[in-house]
Structures are given as structure tokens and as C-alpha cells.
Amino acid sequence: MAAEHTLLPMTWADAGYMAPELILLAMMALLIIVDLVLPRRFDRAVIGWLSLASLLGSAASLVWRLVERNSTDGGEQAKQTISILHDSYRMDDFGSMLKLLLLAATALIVLWSLGAMKQGASERVAHLGEYYYLLLPAAAGAMIMVSTGDLVTLYVGLELLSMSTYILVGLRSRSALTAQSAAFASAASSDGTGAQTYSAKPAEAAFKYVVTGGISSALILFGMSYIYGLTGSTNIGEIAFGLLQVKASFEELLIVAFFFLLAGFGIKIAAAPFHAWAPDVYDGAPTPISALLAVVTKTAAVAALLRLFYNLVYSAGGVHGKIGTTMFRAVLVIAACAMVVGTVSALGQRNVKRLLALSGVANAGYLLVPIGLSFYGVHTNNAAELYFYAAAYLFMNIGAFAVVSIVGGTGERVIELRAFEGLYYRAPWTAGAMIALVLSLAGLPVSGGFFGKLFILFGAASTHAYWLVAVMVATSVVSYAVYFGIVRQMFMRSSGSEAVKVPTATGAAIWLCTLATLALGVYPNGLMEAFEHVFTLAGDLFVYMQ
């Protein structure tokens, strides 16, 4: 059923369109050599700074292409979506805007790490050079996922991201394990409240992540195999055309295939009931990598799922057909389940990294809502809602994790809520930033998180999904107890509290996140209007058969 086509060789012009990804991969190859050549005693921070420079260079090339595409001088031709390698890679505004978020997130994590790892924590990451340069293929894999026009390309990007993060999760040395075990033993002996203080070891976290990641990849690949078997193609545009011809005869089989895809991406997104791995992995991984999993991996998986469902589910039955109704309702049910399970599970959690992991489960539900609301005639701006909340979630989550790493000694031991005792008196500026970030996570007014949730809530209300609105409001109110517990600890005086030293680079990352969060709260329409100005549903999200 696939259309016949001729594969053309990749040209220099094609390579120019892939410059953002190629810059990162080329720099990774260079940094591998640099890391091998440099003496062991040489400060690996230089690799971190070079990684940061490559991320900024990649972002600059992306912005240049984005401006070029949307310039008025270019006419209508400049606005057309660019596809290369027979539409396996696409350059559209939807993917470009999301890639800017992914690059910003990775750059903030590198900047944060340059400060955190310098403060006596370099011995706690087994191979600091590898730590820095492995962040680059992780970002490149995520960028490939959001620009995909082919199932094979999507899977390659997914595995590039997954393989990099598998290693990054386990990059903690024996000294970190010893310190963490001692802290855990101390916490277990002194805590008589019955609160949860369990902490995963690095090896355990890495093992769980590899196993669950393998299951996720297998489910996605199995769902793809069904779709390929029915249409004879891996190109999304050709699959969409093929599904129009076979949907009447294989309706149930297509539903099974889409459920496999939804389950596989649900694991990557850490949405309940596919979230069990997240608390252990986030807790056992280095804190910056926990933030990477919470933001970069989650955003890339949500974007890929959005593109797939917009194209394939629509072609297989539209929004009112059996397939469309079943799948989009399933997405909304998973979204509601994630909000409820994530919020309720976080209520009794004392380990801050595990608490933020469960917060990420709840936020995954919010990110899934725009996908579940797809194709309703009265609701056409759900892509903008997803983009805004992804941006707000990026800044408030990375900033919060960065503060946690400072309070908990770069995150290499059990970090309980009581570690925040008296933070307002020990480091008032850091406490102020954390308050702004936590209130944004809670969704209080004049914050990016508030408007992100509000836009999604209005979208649900416009489609008359009032049950979902009720779930969103209820879980947001309950989550106040979780987030205000952190704020309360910061204002409690503690005689034994130590002074908090904030490295310059880490402080810069925290305040960049805080200011961005506040900016999104003060002027939320700016980002929404910028996205809607360049985004068109037919031109950016749909993949047409070439």
C-alpha cells in the first residue's frame, strides 16, 4: 500500500537542515577524544563548558532556521515544511519550537552541573567527562523524536535518548554510594514517624531504568510492527494513507496496535499506571539526570505521541469513529489516573527527590490532556496549550531539582523534607527562588504553572469534558498540601542547620529558571501568541504522503 518512491542521497543542504542535531553529535565525538587525551587530574569542567557551547550553537542554528522560515521576505515558499530523506526527518515550526525547549533544558542542566559538580561532588560522579558529553546525544535523540516523519527515525531517536540516559543514571561512584548508605542508615534509625525514607541505590536505579526502558521500547516496536504489517510502510504520511484503506477491515487490530504505542510511550512519560519505575530511578540517579528524565525525556515522548496520534489515529477513524473515540478517551483516562495517583502518592512522601518524581507523574497527566482533546471542532489550540505547559514545567522543575541538589549536598544522599529546615534564614535568595518554583508547581496565580494549568483546564471545559475539569481542580487543590510542606520547612528555625553554599553556575541556572517561571506568569500571552503565530495544524503537525 505504500507508494513507490526513490531514495535520494543526502545533500549538503539536507545536512544544513539537520545542523542542530549534527552539531551535538559532532561535538560529542570530539569530546570523547578530548576526554581520552586529557590527563586524569585535569579538570573535566572544560568538557562541560564545551558541551554548553555546543548546545548554545545548536540553538542558534535552530533559531536562524526558524526566523528564516517565518520571515515575510521569504514569501509563501519559505513557510513550507521542509522534509528530507523521504520525509523521515521534518523541519516544521512545531518541532523547531519544541527543540528549543529541549536545548534550553539540557543547557540549564549542564550549567547547573558545572557548579554542583565543582563543589566537592566530582568524586561522586564516576566519570565526569562522560557525564558531560553523554548529555549531548541524549538531547539529539530527543530532538530527532520531535522532528520525525518516519517510525524508524522515531525509534532511532528514542533509542539514542534511552541509551544515553541508561548510562547517565548509573554514573555515581562508590564514594557516593557509601555516603548515601550512611545517610539512609542514619535516617532510618532517627525517623520514628513511619514516613517513607527509602532511597534507591545507583545500581538499582540504573537496573530498573534499563529494564523498564527495554519494556517500553519493546511495546512501541510491537505496536509499530502491527502498523507496518497492515500498511507496508514506516513513513507516517504513507501509513496515514494506507490506514484509510484498511481501517474498515482491521479496526480491532489497529486499536490493539495503538494501545501498545500508548503503553510504551506511557512508560517513557511516567504516566500512571506506567510510572512505578520513576521514584526509584529519580532517587538513585544524580539529581541533574533526574531533572533530565523529568523534562527532556517526558517532553520528547509527549511530542512524538502527539504527532503519531494526530496523523495515524485520525486517519484510522477520525475523532468520532470507533478507533478515534476509543484511543482519545484512553489518553484522557490515563491523564486523569496520572493526576490522581501522582498527587495522592506524594502526600506521604518525605524523600524530596521521590516527591518530585511523583509530582512529575501528576504533571504528565496535564501534558497528556491536550492530546486527548484532539480534533474537537471547538478546541483547535491544544498544541499551544501543550507547548506552554511544557515550557513552564521545564523551568519550574529544573529549578526545583537544582535547589534540592544544593540543600542535599548535590543530591548524593537521602534528601528529606527536613533538609529544608531554616533555608530562608540560611540562604534567603535561594529560598525565595524555591518558593516561586514550588508555588508554580502547585499552580498558584502569577506563575507559569498556574497559567499552564489554566489554559489546559479551559481547553477541557470547551470540549465539555467536565469530569476531567473536576479531576484537574481536585488534584491541584490536594497538591497544595504537598508543595506547602516544602515551603513550611523553609521557615522553620533549626539550631543545627548548616550554611548553604550556592555555586555561581548553579545559582545562575536556578535564577534563570525562576525568572522564566515568573515571566510566564506575568505575561503568559507572549509565548502562546508566539507559538500560534508560527504554528499551523495542517502545515506543521500533519505528515502528508510525498
- Are 101 and 394 within 8 A, CB to CB? yes
In this prediction, residue 278 carries a pLDDT of: 94
Buried-exposed string 392-404: b where 16+ CB fall within 10 A, e elsewhere: bbbbbbbbbbbbb
The DSSP call for residue 124 is G
Question: 345: closest CA among 332, 357, 333, 330?
Answer: 357
Q: Is the pLDDT of residue 86 over 70?
A: yes
Residue 390, amino acid: A
Q: Please give the Cα distance from 502 to 419 (Å, whole number).
A: 15
- What confidence score (pLDDT) does residue 79 get? 58
Residue with cell 489515529: 313
- With CA atoms as reference, report the closest residue to 222 among 269, 252, 256, 250: 256
DSSP strand pairing (89-91 vs 82-84): antiparallel
Query: In angstroms, rounded to a whole number, what is the distance separating the alpha carbons of residues 152 and 107?
Result: 27
Look at residue 462 in the predicted model and tell me its pLDDT: 85
pLDDT band at 124 (very low <50, low <70, confident <90, very high): low
In which band, very low, low, confident or very high, does the pLDDT at 535 lie, cut at 50, 70 and 90?
confident
Looking at the DSSP assignment, which residues form a beta bridge with residue 235? 150
Whole-model pTM: value is 0.90
What confidence tier does 538 reach under pLDDT thresholds 50, 70, 90?
A: low
What integer pLDDT is reported at residue 543 of this predicted model?
65
pLDDT of residue 418: 85
Exposure on the CB side of residue 175, measured as CA atoms within 13 A: 8
Weakest-pLDDT range from 16-20, 168-172, 191-195, 441-445: 191-195
Measured CA to CA, the distance from residue 232 to residue 5 in angstroms comes to: 13
Residue 502 has phi, psi (to 5 degrees) of -110, 110
The pLDDT of residue 210 is above 90? yes
Of the pLDDT bands very low, low, confident and very high (cuts 50, 70, 90), residue 544 is: low
3-state secondary structure of 150: strand
- For helices 428-442 and 382-407, the axis angle rounded to 10 degrees is 150
Residue with cell 534563570: 512
Cell 511530542, residue? Answer: 303
Angle at 37 between CA 34 and CA 40, to 5 degrees: 105
| pLDDT confidence of residue 216 | 96
Spatial separation of the C-alpha atoms in residues 341 and 437, rounded to whole Å:
22
- Provide the CA 329 distance to its chain's centre, in angstroms: 23
pLDDT computed for residue 218 by the predictor: 96
The CA–CA distances, whole Å, from 48 to 59, 139, 501 equal 17, 14, 21
Average pLDDT over residues 253-280: 94
Look up residue 452 and give its amino acid.
Answer: G
CA–CA gap between residue 308 and residue 155 (Å, rounded): 12
> What local confidence, expressed as pLDDT, does residue 77 receive?
44
Q: What angle do CA 108, 111, 115 make, to 5 degrees?
A: 135
pLDDT for the residue 74: 46
Q: Which residue has the higher pLDDT, 354 or 535?
A: 354
CA angle 396, 102, 526 (to 5 degrees): 65
With contact defined as beta carbons under 8 Å apart, do 327 and 262 qualify? yes
Nearest to 136 by CA among 115, 172, 163: 163
Rounded mean pLDDT, 134-161: 94
Q: How far apart are CA 479 and CA 485, in angstroms?
A: 10
Cα–Cα nearest to 233, from 311, 300, 179: 311
Q: Each residue of 432-478: pLDDT tens digit?
A: 999 999 999 998 888 899 999 999 999 888 888 899 999 999 999 99
Share of the chain above pLDDT 90, in %: 51
Query: Which residue is associated with the grid cell 529541549?
Result: 102
Residue 248: count other Cβ atoms within 10 Å of its Cβ: 8
Residue 87 · residue 237 · CB < 8 Å: yes
Read off the C-alpha cell for 508.
545562575
Kindly tell me if the per-residue pLDDT of 394 is higher than 80. yes
- Give long-range contacts, CB 8 A cutoff, 24+ apart: 417-421: 417/350, 417/352, 417/355, 417/485, 417/486, 417/489, 418/350, 418/489, 419/352, 420/352, 420/486, 420/489, 420/490, 421/489, 421/490, 421/492, 421/493, 421/494, 421/497
The three three-digit cell numbers of residue 189, written as one number: 534509625
Host H or E run for residue 34: helix 19-37
Assign 3-state DSSP to the chain and report helix, strand, coil percentages, each to 5.
75, 0, 25
Query: What gap in Å lies between CA 145 and CA 153, rounded to an integer?
Result: 7
| Model pLDDT, residue 1 | 45
What grid cell was written down for 334?
A: 490515563
DSSP characters over 349-415:
B-BHHHHHHHHHHHHHHHHHHHHHTTT-TT---HHHHHHHHHHHHHHHHHHHHHHHHHHTTTT-S--
Model confidence at 376, in pLDDT bands (50, 70, 90)?
low
Mean pLDDT of 355-379: 84
By the 8 A CB rule, do 491 and 380 touch? no
